[in-house]
Structure 1
Amino acid sequence: MEGDSVSLNSGLTEMKDDDVIQWRFGDENTVIAEINVTVDRITVYDDVLDGRFRDRLKLDNQTGSLTITNTRAEHEGYYDLQINSEIRVSFRLIVIDSVLKFVSVNEGDSVSLNSDLTEMKDDDVIQWKFGDENTLIAEINVTADRITVYDDVLDGRFRDRLKLDNQTGSLTITNTTTEHAGVYQLMYLGRLSSKVFRVSVYDSVHCYGPTEAVMRLVLSALVGVATVIIVVYEIISRAE
């Protein structure tokens, strides 16, 4: 999540006396951190890439693992760990907007989750995932010119209910029920970014959205006041 810290584990329990460990970032393989065990030197390169990693990198002097603090979208991308010039492990980091988008809908209505794209790039792969297990429910692969909805996952709860916009990748869920409530994650694989929505589905008979609930509460209060006034009026009239 944006603003959180993330640790990239080297997989080492300790380093050898002659190890030179480098962490590299992005398509240009820019060195952002280094440990040279032979000369007992640890270096973080704060000023590379316009200073995007300044005061954010921490190296474990025992294992060489890298921690990135206070992450932002500009830290998304590929990280390679090289030991003595050989790549040992690669990571792909995706930073999710920490502000969830809350969406509410009445049961039986449709709800649209907006990708905020005006159009997709030729190499985009867009995936929609649902729930704690991040189950894939819909996908657009622009390169292969393929749109797929996975109707049969999760016991078929989304069968005949999903529609993908082939221009923007936005997702619409039709004829919603309470079992469609939950967290939806949109992954832009070609862009290394993501969005998260929390959808609430209100029972159209028994439950109401926040605005309608407030209106009903106000109306109930007004009815109560009116009833008191009538009762007081009746008492006064009889007393007279």
Structure 2
Amino acid sequence: MIHALVLSCLCFFPLIDSETENITVSAMEGGSFTLRTGLNEIQSNPVEWRFGSSRTRISKIQAGSIFPDDVTIFRDRLLIERQTGDLTVTNITNEHTGVYELSIDLGLRELPKTFIVTVYAPVPVPVITRYSPQCSSSSSSSSSSGFKSVLLCSVLNVGHVTLSWYKGNSLLSSISVSDLSISLSLPLEVEYQDINTYSCVVNNPVSTQTKHLDIDQLCQTCSDCDHYWSQTTEAVIRLVVSAVVGVAAVAAAVVLVYDIRSRRTELERKTKFIK
């Protein structure tokens, strides 16, 4: 008799752990995410979904009826699956990042679940720029084998991302940040005639962008590189010469004024002595 009573209770109440289950969810802005109860059917058990540190109720399901609460950031964005109680949020923004709590009243027991949701912005395509092309001292101007260039891979206004350089499928270097709205740059030194495939990759938990390096965009020879730098050097020399000439002109004017004043003082002294 006792065994029959125990078996009937086990059939009526599912074996569910009352400890809270924590689930991490990542989603991308503009998309959607679904939080699942894990049940095939909730029957008549009251179900509540709450959000944030204030545990604001956003929806309730009872006796097969859905009662959404009028919470501004979820308005026209909630989809509730009537049979399972699964919650879907659509057209999401960063405002929907936070803690979602599910509670199902099973009478003698409660099924609690906590979902930690993070909404990420899609990452931009990284930009590769040449930072400092240079020729090795052992190379001649007619050979490109000594040409090297330091490249920068950059992304602007990003957060929670990793920026990486790859050679083929091998990771060369990477940098990660958890801040919001920050700009990142990662250098890479390469040689012209390097036949390896290089790429810069930026990613977060929900999106990835890759920029492949076009080696032909670099100086093709050291002489090209020398020409590039000779133009820069010439401009710098002109600027320096102009500055030197300007300083010299000012100095000459000062000396001239001082000489005129000295002559005038000497002349006045002699005139006074004659009188």
TM-score when scaled to structure 2? 0.48
2:211 to 197, 200, 220: 200
Q: Deviations over 1:216-238 (max 9, x none)?
A: xxxxxxxxxxxxxxxxxxxxxxx
Change (3 A) 1:207 1:88: farther
Alpha carbon RMSD of aligned pairs, Å? Answer: 3.7
1:128 to 133, 137, 162: 162
Per-residue deviation, 1:45:
0.7
Paired AA for residue 22 in structure 1? E
Q: Which residue of 1 aligns with 2:112?
A: 88
Per-residue deviation, 1:27:
0.8
| 1:28 aligned onto 2:45 | no
Q: Which residue of 1 aligns with 2:133?
A: none
Q: Among all aligned residue pairs of Structure 1 and Structure 2, give the percentage whose two residues are the same amino acid.
A: 28
Q: For the residues of structure 1 that align with 2:89 and 2:177, how far apart are their CA atoms?
A: 35
Per-residue deviation, 1:128:
2.6
Aligned residues: 161
Change (3 A) 1:166 1:66: closer
Q: For the residues of structure 2 that align with 1:14 and 1:67, how far apart are their CA atoms?
A: 17
2:186 to 173, 176, 190: 173
Q: Which residue of 2 aligns with 1:56?
A: 77
2:69 to 45, 53, 58: 45
Structure number with greater Rg is 2
Q: Is the 8 A contact 1:80 1:87 kept in 2?
A: no
Q: For the residues of structure 1 that align with 2:209 and 2:56, how far apart are their CA atoms?
A: 37
1:9 to 7, 21, 36: 36
Q: Which residue of 1 aligns with 2:155?
A: 113
Q: Deviations over 1:120-139 (max 9, x none)?
A: xxxxxx56377xxxxxx9xx
Change (3 A) 1:127 1:166: closer
Q: For the residues of structure 2 that align with 1:14 and 1:167, how far apart are their CA atoms?
A: 41
Q: Is the 8 A contact 1:162 1:171 kept in 2?
A: no
Q: Deviations over 1:128-153 (max 9, x none)?
A: 377xxxxxx9xxxxxxxxxxxxxxxx
Q: For the residues of structure 2 that align with 1:96 and 1:36, how far apart are their CA atoms?
A: 33
Q: Is the 8 A contact 1:162 1:172 kept in 2?
A: no
Per-residue deviation, 1:69:
1.4
| 1:101 aligned onto 2:124 | yes
Q: Is the 8 A contact 2:127 2:155 kept in 1?
A: no
Change (3 A) 1:7 1:162: closer
Q: For the residues of structure 1 that align with 2:125 and 2:199, how far apart are their CA atoms?
A: 14
Q: For the residues of structure 1 that align with 2:115 and 2:179, how far apart are their CA atoms?
A: 30
Paired AA for residue 186 in structure 2? I
Per-residue deviation, 1:79:
0.8
Paired AA for residue 6 in structure 1? F
Gaps of 5+ in 1: 118-125, 131-136, 138-153, 188-193, 209-240
Q: Which residue of 1 aligns with 2:227?
A: none
Change (3 A) 1:166 1:25: closer
Q: For the residues of structure 2 that align with 1:97 and 1:162, how far apart are their CA atoms?
A: 20
Per-residue deviation, 1:26:
0.7
Q: Is the 8 A contact 2:46 2:61 kept in 1?
A: yes
Paired AA for residue 21 in structure 1? V
Q: Deviations over 1:159-196 (max 9, x none)?
A: xx4456899865432216744333422x7xxxxxx9x6
